[in-house]
Structure 1
């Protein structure tokens, strides 16, 4: 397997949604617009400050893969269709094997 560096412009974007239905809806919007090649889902429990008190909730975490040139479009689309008042949108460049990089960048 050939490994690469950050030069291929792949980003991971992490966000959460309140439930599977909302997470799937967001993912489908991104996929149908061909802004991303794939997304994975994970059930998580979050603890956070909101409205002056500590809260906790079960959420669905989306781990979204995209090429660098689509990063702003993906983040903007997440902001537009997110159900939260203040959505979590965390992104960072990643390294990946050459074949995966080529696949992500083909979108």
Structure 2
């Protein structure tokens, strides 16, 4: 394990109400090279909304990307999301496999910076 010394790799989390929508969004993000990898899995969410506690099954999407892409990724997700206020949380990666962190950086560099 190595530290992510530059702090450039993050995991961005969002959720969706259906597996189909979550998988479609995950594929679109990866296709646009805004994330190197997306993991989609079921979760149970309990939260305040419209003045009361909600309890709902959702599909969580964890997106591995570079910190400098978080704003673009957030705009991309928000523009394609059905929720009024979609969850968008970026958590810095403090360590990990040097090869994996380099792979994330490499896969998100191709095309994501506006280069073709």
Aligned counterpart, 2:21 = 22
* Structure 2 alignment gaps of length 5 or more: 108-116
Aligned counterpart, 2:114 = none
Aligned counterpart, 1:97 = 97
Q: Are residues 8 and 49 of structure 1, via their aligned partners in 2, closer, same or farther at CA, if it must alter by over 3 Å? A: closer
Say whether residues 1:38 and 2:75 are aligned partners. no
Q: CA RMSD in A?
A: 1.3
Which aligned runs of 4 or more in structure 1 are off by greater than 2 angstroms? none
5-14 or 72-81, larger mean C-alpha shift: 5-14
Cα distance in 2 between the residues matched to 1:104 and 1:8:
12
The superposition leaves residues 25-50 of structure 1 with CA deviations (integer Å, 9 ceiling, x where unpaired) of 11111111111110111211111111
15-24 or 63-72, larger mean C-alpha shift: 63-72
What is the SS of the residue equivalent to 1:36?
coil
User: Which aligned pairs between 1:1-107 and structure 2 lie closer than 5 A?
Assistant: 2-94=1-93, 95-107=95-107
